């Protein structure tokens, strides 16, 4: 092993591999390796300028006993940046320390000519590069597991487990699965897998493995802090923080699948106004257009969208419109985009990547020309009419089949970069809108590390209307926040399979709605059954032919349920000053709005075990109802004094109580003393 200090970075060379470890932000190191003569030069999620760090590098010799019984000295090195340090031995095995205490070590089981922990005949190495014939590498990076460690973050996975220890996670973007590969450890470190390749991570009991299906470099970033709050501060300092959410988007959003005409939209908005309910945002969903890729209203059903938007603005309502990244061959833009190389490419077979309601190919937003082209179309046909926000749906992107080995982007094979697709897609709108002085609040179904800085409101995807799904969304939202994405929400009531006439679904909807008051964005949406509403016409294109779901407004579920929803709408309104406070905290420090209990109470071991209650900012403890016909639940109150916001009754912390939960409320407790700062 050859060691070199290169301007404060530790360079290690062995058997054709170059390893580079360098300071990158507060108490943090960036670790890269390659089998090529030079690194690719991609910073991926590490987009923010960081202050220069004064790292120290020590090169020394360490003793190892050989098979002949003799002890020999071999070169080794150590780099330190603040509280975090890393050592590299002669086999290239790295060990990381927080304040001198080991937190992470690479897994190595190969005979290296010396009798050490890593001397085995298994021939398992810490960094395994498997070359593709004539191409790049499949990479596996292995670490020793830490007994008793808990692992959180990583984005959004549809499963009941909040603690990822013991889980195997696909690093692939899919509808309702969002990979944001930043993990938070209970041992006081965080690690970003700074690689947008498809792959997998296994947080096993016997080994931890990160795998990239296709890459040129290994690239990860690791930081140390006293607790999750410090880790998120360090992480968002190098990947970016969310902008400040506009006050006009903090209230209630109305949405359904789907408003088919401008008169339907206006009728809903006018009725809300008549009822005295102020909509912050109304959403115009998909297939209001001609065909996918035209990015404009179908004038048969939207004859004067500017007049509609003007009237909505007069009511104080922001207008969001759905756009998709798919381009139908019938689109007026298809052949120009294909000719200019602005679409995804297939490696074999037909040029088709998506077949829902058309023969389509998705755009390639990694190409800056594509981003400019799509924005110009949307600016002309939407933004210049007054549209405020964009719903960037299908932003994984959704594919007919997730055959990543068959697709290619501007940046390379899909296997090497497809996880960053939603981040680039959002930039196609966020960057030009900011240049025009707007404050983008764009809704997306997917994201990646760093997406938080591009005005992204992520939602949990097209999830089913079931109690199991509701429970999964709670942990998904908490882990998304721990992965650095503070703007997050769900379709209230779930998206699929909700029959509006079924009392069981109405109960689920009400419980979901009550929980949504304490989400960053409160948005009523869903594809409501039964599908008995006839299409507006028999064309196979345009804004009228596709089905619509049943009504999905606050008044659509009967007077009793309307009264409950109206009460919680008023509660959301009353929280506006507090919402401004915690949105600002997210903007300034990277802290999420939805916070796992241990985020605010890291010294309380009980809080590391809780996945069915959480903190909404620093002051409110929220305990949603997650099962049918449940009218009381246990709630753990950490140290301090807690006040039930419904009754004013106070409880001392350090105990578990049984809180009543009638159908018209959920248990929420305010930490005392409370003041808006």
C-alpha 463/C-alpha 531 separation (Å) is: 18
CATH code of the domain containing 19: 2.60.40.1760
Residue 114 has pLDDT above 70, yes or no: no
The residue from 205, 239, 273 where one domain ends is 239
Residue 132 has pLDDT above 50, yes or no: yes
Residue 397, domain member (yes or no):
yes
* Same domain (yes/no): 330, 350: yes
Residue 178, domain member (yes or no):
yes
Helix, strand, or coil here: 190?
Answer: strand
The predicted model gives 534-554 an average pLDDT of 91
* Same domain (yes/no): 78, 210: yes
Q: How many Cα neighbours within 13 Å face the side chain of 293?
A: 26
Residue 574, domain member (yes or no):
no
Residue 211, domain member (yes or no):
yes
The predicted model gives 179-194 an average pLDDT of 98
* Same domain (yes/no): 647, 556: no
* Same domain (yes/no): 263, 217: no
Pick the closest to residue 290 from 330, 258, 248, 253 (CA basis): 330
CATH code of the domain containing 638: 2.60.40.1180
List pLDDT tens digits, range 437-451: 999 999 999 999 999
Pick the closest to residue 460 from 135, 157, 244, 122 (CA basis): 157
Least confident of 57-71, 110-124, 640-654: 110-124
Length of the chain: 677
The residue from 206, 239, 272 where one domain ends is 239
Eight-class DSSP state of 177: B
Contacts of 386 (CB under 8 A, 6+ apart): 306, 309, 310, 313, 319
* Same domain (yes/no): 444, 331: yes
The residue from 192, 208, 239 where one domain ends is 239
171: number of Cβ within 10 Å: 24
Eight-class DSSP state of 425: H
Phi then psi for 657, rounded to 5 degrees? -115, 165
Among all chains, which residue has been given the structure tokens 């140390």?
224
* Same domain (yes/no): 278, 209: no
- Range of the structural domain that residue 658 is part of: 596-672
The predicted model gives 418-422 an average pLDDT of 98
* Same domain (yes/no): 420, 481: yes
Least confident of 54-63, 323-332, 466-475: 54-63
C-alpha 232/C-alpha 312 separation (Å) is: 38
- 623 CA to centre of own chain: 22
* Same domain (yes/no): 532, 388: yes
Q: Do residues 422 and 453 lie in contact, with contact meaning Cβ atoms separated by under 8 Å?
A: no
Tell me the chain's radius of gyration from C-alpha atoms: 26
Q: Do residues 475 and 160 lie in contact, with contact meaning Cβ atoms separated by under 8 Å?
A: yes
* Same domain (yes/no): 200, 278: no
Pick the closest to residue 195 from 10, 449, 22, 399 (CA basis): 449
Q: Would you state the structure tokens that stand for residue 616, as one six-digit string?
A: 């909404």
Residue 156 has pLDDT above 70, yes or no: yes
* Same domain (yes/no): 292, 161: no
Strands (E), 455-596: 456-459, 488-489, 522-524, 594-595
* Same domain (yes/no): 184, 283: no
Residue 116, domain member (yes or no):
yes
Residue 67 has pLDDT above 70, yes or no: no
CB contact burial 211-228 (16+ within 10 A = b; e otherwise): bbbbbbbbbbbbbbbebb
The reported pTM is: 0.96
Among all chains, which residue has been given the structure tokens 């032919």?
545
The pLDDT confidence band at residue 52, using thresholds 50, 70 and 90, is confident
Pick the closest to residue 199 from 185, 211, 189, 190 (CA basis): 211
**In the chain, what percentage of residues exceed pLDDT 90?**
93
C-alpha 363/C-alpha 372 separation (Å) is: 12
Residue 676 has pLDDT above 50, yes or no: no
Q: Is the peptide bond before 530 cis (omega within 30 degrees of 0)?
A: yes
Pick the closest to residue 221 from 413, 484, 397, 431 (CA basis): 484
Residue 619 has pLDDT above 90, yes or no: yes
Residue 570, domain member (yes or no):
no
CB contact burial 283-293 (16+ within 10 A = b; e otherwise): bbbbbbbbbbb
Instruction: Report the pLDDT value the prediction gives residue 544, as an integer from 0 to 100.
Output: 86
Locate all alpha helices (DSSP H) within 85-202, ordered by sequence: none
C-alpha 445/C-alpha 422 separation (Å) is: 8
Count how many domains the chain has: 3
List residues with catalytic annotation: 393, 396, 462
DSSP states of 237-297: HHH----PPPGGGSSEEE--TT--SHHHHHHHHHHHHHHT---SEEEE-SS-BSSTTS-SB
List pLDDT tens digits, range 359-415: 999 999 999 999 999 999 999 999 999 999 999 999 999 999 999 999 999 999 999
Q: Do residues 153 and 479 lie in contact, with contact meaning Cβ atoms separated by under 8 Å?
A: yes
Residue 297 has pLDDT above 70, yes or no: yes
Residue 578, domain member (yes or no):
no
* Same domain (yes/no): 445, 496: yes
CATH code of the domain containing 553: 3.20.20.80
């Amino acid at each position: 092993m050859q060691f070199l200090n290169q301007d404060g970075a530790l360079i290690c060379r062995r058997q054709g591999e170059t390893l580079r470890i360098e300071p990158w932000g507060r108490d943090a190191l960036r670790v890269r390796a390659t089998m090529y003569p030079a690194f690719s030069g991609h910073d991926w999620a590490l987009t923010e300028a960081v202050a220069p760090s004064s790292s120290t590098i020590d090169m020394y010799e360490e003793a190892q006993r050989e098979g002949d019984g003799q002890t020999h000295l071999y070169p080794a090195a150590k780099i330190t940046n603040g509280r975090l340090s890393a050592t590299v031995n002669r086999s290239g095995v790295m060990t990381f320390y927080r304040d001198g205490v080991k937190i992470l070590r690479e897994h190595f089981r190969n005979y290296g000519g010396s009798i050490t922990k890593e001397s085995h005949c298994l021939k398992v190495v810490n960094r395994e590069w498997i070359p593709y014939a004539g191409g790049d590498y499949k990479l596996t990076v292995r670490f020793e597991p830490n007994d008793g460690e808990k692992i959180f973050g990583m984005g959004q996975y549809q499963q009941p487990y909040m603690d990822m220890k013991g889980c195997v996670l696909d690093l692939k973007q899919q509808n309702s699965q969002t990979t944001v590969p930043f993990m938070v450890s209970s041992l006081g470190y965080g690690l970003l897998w700074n690689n947008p390749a498809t792959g997998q991570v296994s947080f096993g009991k016997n080994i931890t493995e990160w795998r990239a299906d296709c890459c040129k470099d290994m690239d990860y970033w690791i930081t140390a802090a006293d607790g999750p709050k410090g880790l998120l501060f360090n992480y968002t300092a190098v990947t970016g923080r969310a902008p400040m959410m506009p006050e006009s988007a903090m209230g209630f959003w109305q949405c359904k699948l789907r408003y088919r005409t401008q008169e339907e939209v206006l009728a809903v908005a006018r009725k809300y106004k008549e009822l005295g309910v102020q909509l912050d945002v109304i959403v115009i969903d998909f297939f209001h257009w001609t065909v996918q890729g035209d990015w404009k209203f179908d004038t048969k059903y939207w004859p004067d969208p500017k007049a509609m938007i003007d009237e909505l603005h007069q009511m104080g309502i922001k207008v969001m419109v759905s756009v998709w990244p798919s381009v139908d061959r019938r689109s007026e833009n298809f052949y120009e985009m294909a000719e200019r190389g602005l679409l995804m490419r297939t490696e074999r077979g037909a040029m088709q990547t998506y077949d829902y309601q058309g023969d389509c190919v998705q755009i390639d937003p990694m190409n800056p020309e594509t981003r400019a082209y799509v924005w110009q179309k949307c600016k002309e046909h939407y933004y210049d009419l007054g549209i405020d926000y964009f719903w960037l749906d299908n932003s994984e992107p959704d594919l007919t089949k997730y055959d990543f080995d068959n697709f290619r982007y501007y940046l390379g094979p899909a296997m090497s970069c497809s996880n960053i697709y939603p981040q680039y897609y959002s930039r196609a709108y966020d960057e030009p809108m900011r240049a025009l002085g707007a404050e983008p609040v764009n809704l997306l179904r997917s994201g990646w590390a760093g997406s938080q800085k591009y005005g992204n409101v992520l939602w949990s995807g097209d999830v089913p209307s079931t109690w199991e799904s509701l429970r999964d969304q709670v942990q998904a939202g908490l882990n998304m926040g721990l992965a650095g994405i503070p703007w997050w929400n769900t379709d209230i009531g779930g998206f699929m399979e909700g029959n509006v006439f079924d009392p069981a679904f109405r109960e689920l909807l009400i419980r979901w709605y009550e929980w949504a008051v304490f989400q960053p964005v409160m948005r009523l949406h869903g594809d409501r059954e039964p599908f008995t509403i006839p299409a507006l016409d028999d064309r196979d294109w345009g804004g009228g032919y596709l089905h619509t779901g049943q009504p999905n407004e606050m008044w659509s579920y009967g007077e009793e349920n309307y009264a409950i929803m109206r009460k919680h709408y008023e509660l959301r309104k009353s929280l506006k000053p507090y919402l401004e406070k915690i949105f600002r905290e997210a903007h300034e420090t990277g802290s999420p709005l939805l916070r796992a209990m241990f985020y605010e109470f890291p010294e309380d071991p009980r809080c590391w075990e809780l996945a069915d209650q959480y903190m909404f900012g620093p002051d409110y403890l929220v305990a949603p109802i997650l099962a049918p016909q449940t009218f009381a639940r246990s709630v753990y109150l950490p140290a301090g004094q807690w006040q039930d916001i419904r009754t004013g009754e106070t409880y001392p912390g350090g105990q578990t109580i049984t809180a009543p939960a009638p159908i018209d409320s959920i248990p929420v407790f305010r930490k005392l003393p409370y003041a808006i700062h």
